[in-house]
Amino acid sequence: MVVEAVVLVTALLLAILRSLPGPVFFPIRALTVVYVDFFRGVPTILVILMLGQGIPALQLSWLPTDQIFWASVALVLVYTAYVSEVYRAGIESVHPSQEAAARSLGLTRAQALRHVVVPQAVRRVIPPLLNDFIGLQKDTALVSVLGIVEVLRQTQIDQSATFNGTYYLVAATLFVAITIPLARFTDWLVARDRRRQQAGRLA
């Protein structure tokens, strides 16, 4: 839950920075593109290994050495890249006339983004956001490569001790039990949005 909350905020900030217009903001836009391309291109498990094993190995007193912390940071870095693209698509789907109307009323660009563009964009991308978080729930199993005892690691320990493959089925059932409610909630949101659009056309 902490990782998801951090991703929601940082990804939105990244998407806003990437949508800033004008040549003066080109370096910022370029940096966001580099960030997104890099962390979408590198496998998540590799980022987890680089941070979860590499950072503690440096033995720097001013850096945390907790592997769970660095595994969480790795997931935040990777999923921020993916989710920022979802937000960006939502921002770009809002017609420019919406911002122009807000500016004509005396709002600054920042105010127009905050009060007009971003709220509409977020509502439009809730279903794909939830799909990304379903993926995040499953990718938490990747932290087992650091030796952290979570669901998958505990399953491996139990299976090795008892030579009973049923533990893998139990683990799979647990992941399904977590993700299916999110999937159905996503379907409900999509259906609700479709009904609202149809009602708007009829009106």
User: What was the pLDDT predicted at 203?
Assistant: 58
User: What was the pLDDT predicted at 188?
Assistant: 80
Q: Is 201 domain-assigned?
A: no
Higher local confidence (pLDDT), 66 or 82: 82
Domain boundaries, position 127 = 2-143
**What are the CA-CA distances from residue 203 to residues 95, 97, 164, 196 (Å)?**
20, 21, 61, 10
- Over residues 35-39, the mean pLDDT reads 94
| Residue 179 binned pLDDT confidence (cut-offs 50, 70, 90) | confident
Q: Is 22 domain-assigned?
A: yes
Total number of domains in the chain: 1
Q: Is 178 domain-assigned?
A: no
Amino acid found at 176: V
Q: What is the DSSP letter of 165?
A: T
User: What was the pLDDT predicted at 86?
Assistant: 92
| Residue 151 binned pLDDT confidence (cut-offs 50, 70, 90) | low
- Over residues 150-179, the mean pLDDT reads 72
149's CB contacts (< 8 A; 6+ apart) are 157
Asked if 129 contacts 90 with a C-beta cutoff of 8 angstroms, the reply is no
The CATH number of the domain where 8 resides is what?
1.10.3720.10
Q: Is 193 domain-assigned?
A: no
pLDDT of residue 201 exceeding 60, the answer is yes
Q: Say how far apart CA 42 and CA 78 lie, in whole Å.
A: 8
Q: Is 181 domain-assigned?
A: no
Residue in 60, 117, 140 with CA at minimum distance from that of residue 109 = 117
Q: Which two structure tokens, joined as six digits, stand for 97?
A: 């006339």
Q: Is 169 domain-assigned?
A: no
Q: Say how far apart CA 16 and CA 19 lie, in whole Å.
A: 5
- Over residues 68-75, the mean pLDDT reads 89
Q: Is 131 domain-assigned?
A: yes
